[in-house]
Amino acid sequence: MEGNVIFALSLTLFAGLATGVGALIAFFTTRTNKKFLSVALGFSAGVMIYVSLVEIFVKAKDSLVTALGETQGYWMTVIGFFGGMVFIALIDKFIPKKNNPHEVKTVEDVNAVALNKGAVDEEKLMKMGVFTALAIGIHNFPEGIATFMSAMQDPNVGIAIAIAVAIHNIPEGIAVAVPIYFATGIRKKAFKLSFFSGLAEPVGALVAFLILMPFITDTMFGIIFAGVAGIMVFISLDELLPAAQKYDETHLSIYGLVAGMAVMAVSLLLLA
């Protein structure tokens, strides 16, 4: 049990701190590799959607059916699934669009805002970076719960979700680091804020461990797991796939989506 907890917490830490990778990319590149990012985000979405619908939803349903019976168990699974979607959608709703990490940004976009034809408004840039970091922290919190709970139930599924979450945290790190760097001129400060914005992920995992785990029953587990599936699917549809339009690489994103599903299907089969 203790080993599983440490492993699950480590996965959430890995996924959350990928925002720091985004900061490093922002500092050492001047152009966004749109093709690579489209494929990577599509791949991440494919992993999340496949594992959510094929593994997580099914395990949630099995748990609830065992606890509540066939009909009631299935309905509770559906309610938990769409409840997870509503939960993450409400978080989106109350975050201003310009600070919403689900609005994907490129290095060029943030540089354009930062430079503003040579007239840099340092106060506005700093505020944009800080609020974006807070917004990402809010988003990463439920993702941390999702990654932790998945890893506790099935380490292989947890690994897949952690990798997918880490991939989509990279552009979020860019969105935090670049405006703060241009506002302060201090790369270390920009990197720290970007890096620490990802810590909400393991904090969410700790909340799941300290508050939820002691009271876990088959019914509670099923509802939480169904909610996790809903959160993952919503993030994929609301954030990752629209990146195809943002980067004008629609087909590459879909190819990445299919590849993510295929890799997930094969890996689950081989590790079963």
- Is 172 annotated as ligand-binding? yes
169 is in an annotated binding site: yes
pLDDT confidence of residue 55: 85
Look at residue 112 in the predicted model and tell me its pLDDT: 57
Regarding pTM above 0.85, the answer is: no
Find out whether 143 is annotated in a ligand binding site: yes
The domain ranges of the chain are 2-29+40-271
Q: Give the per-residue pLDDT at 118.
A: 47
R_g of the chain computed on alpha carbons: 19
Instruction: Please check if 123 is assigned to a binding site.
Output: no
Q: Which residues contact 80 (CB under 8 A, 6 or more apart)?
A: 60, 64, 222, 223, 224, 225, 226, 227, 230
User: How do residues 151-192 score in pLDDT, each as one tens digit?
Assistant: 888 888 888 888 888 887 887 777 777 777 777 767 788 788
pLDDT tens sequence across 8-32? 889 898 888 888 887 777 677 656 6
State which residues of the chain have pLDDT below 50.
101-102, 117-119
The pLDDT of residue 18 is: 86
